[in-house]
Chains A and B, each alone.
Chain A
Amino acid sequence: MTDATVPPAVARPGLFEGDARTRKRNAAERRFRLYGMIAVGAGLFFLVTLLFAIVSNGIGAFQQTSFTLRVEMREDVLDKPGNRNIEDIKAVKTFAYKPLLRAAILREIEGNGIDTPLSGAKIVGFSSDLDKLLSDGAAAKLRNQVLANPELIGRTVEVTVLASSRVDGYLKGRVTRESIARDKNLDAEHLDLVDVLRGAGVVGKGINTAFITGTDASDARPEQAGMGVSILGSFFMMLVVLLLALPIGVAASIYLEEFAPQNRFTDLIEVNISNLAAVPSIVFGILGLAVFIQFMHLPQSAPLVGGLVLTLMTLPTIIISTRASLKSVPPSIRDAALGVGASKMQAVFHHVLPLAMPGILTGTIIGLAQALGETAPLLLIGMVGYIASNYPDGVGAGFLDPNSAMPAQIYEWAKRADPAFYERAWGGIIVLLVFLAAMNILAIILRRRFERRW
């Protein structure tokens, strides 16, 4: 038997100071808390960075540089017979309008007394150094103006035509003198000229409404490209989704929530829906390609097909949210309806459904917003690679004619080689996000305004 050894007393510094171990634990506590703050901060930082990148890169797409020129519509060029016969005027190709624009620029150079090597540029011919200042579409625009109003011939008219994408980039700071050193599309003397003309008020930036209402343009004309047609394409797709997914989704939810017997089949449907919600969107694209295009021979690139694919994709989302809002209607409502003699169907359709409607609409809008931003399935059914340069003729054509959609259009621009299209892509994202934000805000307002708490 040994004497119990008494451990030497630990010197405790006192109640308010804490010993080494306590300090360590407290430090660990503070560190842990700091990690959490860093994580939340990182999340917010990424959000801010993303939004900053979008806005700073995309805001330029909403402005566009254009030239305001006084063009002399020479009769000997545009209407040789001189009798204003529309067929004769149509026979004059776009190419003939180019010299008129060149002459107008030279007149501005002379009128402002500018000293530039470009003042010796030739007016006639296949190409001229002056062409680099203007958009490829400028002559076509002039021609359309004349065709719409032949009275212009013989007069000197003030017209506004788009500048080329490089000049536009120079005014926005995207193109610099260093960057054009290796660029055959524009030279330093052009920039000097643009600087002076800008001072004279011939060149200037303006609000670019054509970006929102206009059509897509080919690779060589980024300054003309707009979102208009693809917005319509998205609109028709969303119409299909709304018309199909809302009724089918609500009907399916009502069945599952109110009428379905507890059996294998119901279980199968439920498992199916929860799994479909997690199937990658590209797989829905494969489904659309195989079933709607290969098997049923529906037209490729049509908003109808896009809408059908997106409907199948959004259905699970809508069903899940609809079931949640049906579930939140208290059983007492159903019991009261049944108690005064309504049938089960009447109780559901007359009482439960109207009360659940705000929740259902909120879920539907959120589902639509998801569908609006979806790109991957659209790639497979051919809504990319199509240059949406024409508005659909009518409602039927809107559903069936080849078209693009907003996200597909953005992807298309991001793939092109000219950096001027990147600005368009970012700008397109701003438009897309504005639509999404509007839809989500609408959903939130609906929920705040009409949602009942039982």
Chain B
Amino acid sequence: MPAIWLTLAVLALATAGYVLGRARALTSAGGDSRKLHSLPSYYGIHVFLFTAAPALALLALWILVQPLIIERAVSTHLPERVFSGNADRGLVMSDVRRVANGLDLAVSQGAMTTEYARTVRTELTDVRERLGEVGVAVGSDIGPEVLRAAQNYRSLAARGDLLRSLTIAVLALGGLLVSIIRTTRDFRARNVVEQAILGLLLLSATIAILTTIGIVFSLIFNTVEFFGLYPAWDFFLGLTWSPSFGGGSELGIFPLLWGTFYISLIALAVSVPIGLFAAVYLSEYASPHVRSVAKPLIEVLAGIPTIVYGLFALLTVGPLLMRVFGDGGVGIMQAGTAVMTAGLVMGIMLIPFVSSLSDDIINAVPQAMRDGSLGLGATRSETVRQVVLPAALPGIVGAILLAASRAIGETMIVVMGAGAAARLSMNPFDAMTTVTAKIVSQLTGDADFASPEALVAFALGMTLFVITLGLNVLALYIVRRYREQYE
């Protein structure tokens, strides 16, 4: 039975359980709900939760674990000669899966009978052609071992599914029975239900931790695998980035870090002065009317998706810079995609980020400090420069660090605006590339996931994750320290 029907069946059973539980509680109290320990609906919810929650949790776990077990079982039965040549286990297994899915599809469309799909042999029929008829494309010819494995896979999966349906049914019915039997007049249904709900709330809260664990593990596992194929030393200190899927790649991260750093620097050089001055003007000078109009308008820039900035860089800013600095003008720019293009556009994107963070921080400086300075005869700009900004400095540094972390992790603008060549150059009008852009290009090709050229993306991701996390932790620490100072 497919998982979706199983889920619906369990939910239907649980809903019936709700009605039953509620009715049973009321009957046991002689129809007088005042004699119950809890409100009648709690008895119903109690049965509902005990029927549905364990069964659905098991179902979710089963869906995750069953493919792993089947895959291991099938994979150990594959004879060694399938792996002759350069085909690795993962590729063969994905072929097996595809053939198994194809057989499923063929059976469901009526192109094959169940019996035929179980016993068909490559020696007698061209299975690839038969599968092609139902719209399943298999890359290479299907060997007898692969077909045998696929049939084995299907039979194991069918057995697993049957076992799954039975176990879930038993669990749901068991839960229903136990909770119904427990339902009596004096059963403390509300307390039990509230405990269960609290458990669900806690579970939701831990998803954030699970996400982090997922990120860290998926990065670490693949990074370790990468360093098994490619020396870590060469990765971190290599000065050349030239992946080639034929082998013999040089995968030094340094040119990518340089591109990332250079683009972020230009972005900060644009956004920090503009953002900071805008924040100072809006919080210290502007009339409430101007502020109420200008502040939201600038913040609109923050709500625009990065793909829009990417397109703006690629099709508007790039050609514009090309006209000034390209062959017709100064002549130091070869193509529209360059560090300057990406940096300028990213700077525009970061303006509202810097300005609204700085605005908060400047507003947090106590008014008494301004009043004191103005009372001593300082002008407003002197007050800002000599009193407000020094007091707000740690917070502003924090804001700039957060903006830097944004710039380093930004993807779409650099993918579209910075070019693809990894290059160590000082000229801001050269095309360079960044860590994020290379993660995208290494993982979106047709490369085999097990090759160092694809796995390097995980090592790049790990580097990116560590750098941005470090910057964020540092920035939050600084901001928090500063906030405490005035509270």
Q: CB within 8 Å of B: which residues of A? A: 25-26, 28-29, 31-33, 35-40, 42-44, 46-47, 50, 53-54, 57, 247-249, 251-252, 254-256, 259-260, 268-269, 272-276, 278-284, 286-287, 289-291, 294-297, 312, 315-316, 319, 343-345, 369, 372-376, 379-380, 382, 384-385, 407, 410-411, 414, 422, 425-426, 429, 432-433, 436, 440
- By a CB distance below 8 angstroms, the chain B residues around A29 are 379-382
Can you list 10 A-B contacts with CB-CB less than 8 angstroms, sorted by A residue number?
A33-B381, A35-B281, A36-B284, A248-B204, A272-B212, A376-B412, A379-B440, A382-B444, A411-B310, A425-B315
CB pair A414 B314 closer than 8 Å: yes
> A275-B212, A286-B458 in contact; A414/B440 too (CB < 8 A)?
no
Task: Indicate the member of B202, B205, B207 with the most A CB atoms within 10 Å.
Answer: B205
Task: Indicate the member of A286, A374, A429 with the most B CB atoms within 10 Å.
Answer: A286
CB pair A47 B194 closer than 8 Å: no
CB pair A39 B285 closer than 8 Å: no
B200, B281, B304, B458: which contacts A36 (Cβ < 8 A)? B281
Query: Which 4 A-B pairs rank lowest in CB-CB distance, beginning with the nearest?
Result: A280-B409, A36-B281, A373-B305, A290-B218
Complexed CA–CA distance, A46 and B273 (Å): 15
B306 within 8 A of A: yes
Residue of A nearest to B194 (CB): A345
CB pair A376 B440 closer than 8 Å: yes
B369 within 8 A of A: no
Q: Looking at the assembled complex, report how far the CB atom of B279 sits from the nearest CB atom of chain A, in whole angstroms.
A: 8
- By a CB distance below 8 angstroms, the chain A residues around B312 are 50, 53-54
> A252-B204, A375-B412 in contact; A280/B436 too (CB < 8 A)?
yes
CB pair A43 B201 closer than 8 Å: no
B106 within 8 A of A: no
Q: Looking at the assembled complex, report how far the CB atom of A124 sits from the nearest CB atom of chain B, in whole angstroms.
A: 34
Q: Looking at the assembled complex, report how far the CB atom of A195 sits from the nearest CB atom of chain B, in whole angstroms.
A: 28
Complexed CA–CA distance, A349 and B405 (Å): 38
- By a CB distance below 8 angstroms, the chain B residues around A254 are 201
- By a CB distance below 8 angstroms, the chain A residues around B278 are 36, 39-40, 42-43
B478 within 8 A of A: no
B249 within 8 A of A: no
> A39-B281, A345-B194 in contact; A26/B298 too (CB < 8 A)?
no
Q: Looking at the assembled complex, report how far the CB atom of B189 sits from the nearest CB atom of chain A, in whole angstroms.
A: 12
Task: Indicate the member of B209, B277, B301, B408 with the most A CB atoms within 10 Å.
Answer: B277
Cβ < 8 Å to A, chain B residues 368-384: 379-382, 384
CB pair B307 A407 closer than 8 Å: yes
> A252-B204, A274-B476 in contact; A57/B315 too (CB < 8 A)?
yes
B472 within 8 A of A: yes
- By a CB distance below 8 angstroms, the chain A residues around B202 are 255
Q: Looking at the assembled complex, report how far the CB atom of A234 sits from the nearest CB atom of chain B, in whole angstroms.
A: 12
Complexed CA–CA distance, A312 and B218 (Å): 15
B224 within 8 A of A: no
CB pair B311 A425 closer than 8 Å: yes
Complexed CA–CA distance, A373 and B303 (Å): 9
> A252-B204, A375-B306 in contact; A286/B214 too (CB < 8 A)?
no
Interface stretch, picked from B132-140, B152-160, B327-335, B348-356, is B348-356
- By a CB distance below 8 angstroms, the chain B residues around A280 are 408-411, 436, 464-465, 468
Residue of B nearest to A251 (CB): B204
- By a CB distance below 8 angstroms, the chain B residues around A425 are 311, 315
CB pair B381 A32 closer than 8 Å: yes
> A282-B411, A426-B311 in contact; A256/B436 too (CB < 8 A)?
no
B37 within 8 A of A: no
Q: Give the size range of B's interface with the partner.
A: 35 or more
Q: Encode B53-78 as 1/0 by CB contact (under 8 A) with A.
A: 00000000000100100000000000
A47, A269, A294: which contacts B209 (Cβ < 8 A)? A269
B469 within 8 A of A: yes
B443 within 8 A of A: yes
B162 within 8 A of A: no
Q: Looking at the assembled complex, report how far the CB atom of A324 sits from the nearest CB atom of chain B, in whole angstroms.
A: 14
B46 within 8 A of A: no
> A29-B380, A39-B274 in contact; A343/B194 too (CB < 8 A)?
yes
B205, B314, B412: which contacts A255 (Cβ < 8 A)? B205
Cβ < 8 Å to A, chain B residues 9-67: 64, 67
Residue of A nearest to B212 (CB): A272
Complexed CA–CA distance, A417 and B173 (Å): 60
B1 within 8 A of A: no
B449 within 8 A of A: yes
- By a CB distance below 8 angstroms, the chain A residues around B391 are none
CB pair B204 A278 closer than 8 Å: no
Complexed CA–CA distance, A68 and B201 (Å): 62
B97, B197, B203, B465: which contacts A283 (Cβ < 8 A)? B465
B416 within 8 A of A: yes
Complexed CA–CA distance, A214 and B169 (Å): 45
CB pair B282 A40 closer than 8 Å: yes
A26, A272, A343: which contacts B208 (Cβ < 8 A)? A272
B200, B215, B281, B468: which contacts A37 (Cβ < 8 A)? B281
CB pair B449 A36 closer than 8 Å: no
B402 within 8 A of A: yes
B198, B300, B355, B415: which contacts A259 (Cβ < 8 A)? B198
Residue of B nearest to A295 (CB): B218
B109 within 8 A of A: no
CB pair A379 B277 closer than 8 Å: no
> A43-B298, A272-B208 in contact; A50/B348 too (CB < 8 A)?
yes
B324 within 8 A of A: no
Cβ < 8 Å to A, chain B residues 277-310: 277-278, 280-282, 284-286, 294, 297-298, 300-301, 303-310
CB pair A282 B409 closer than 8 Å: yes
B473 within 8 A of A: yes
B266 within 8 A of A: no
CB pair B416 A385 closer than 8 Å: no
CB pair B298 A286 closer than 8 Å: no
Complexed CA–CA distance, A380 and B277 (Å): 38
Complexed CA–CA distance, A407 and B310 (Å): 11
Complexed CA–CA distance, A268 and B305 (Å): 31
B439 within 8 A of A: yes
- By a CB distance below 8 angstroms, the chain B residues around A376 are 306, 411-412, 415, 436, 440
CB pair A281 B274 closer than 8 Å: no
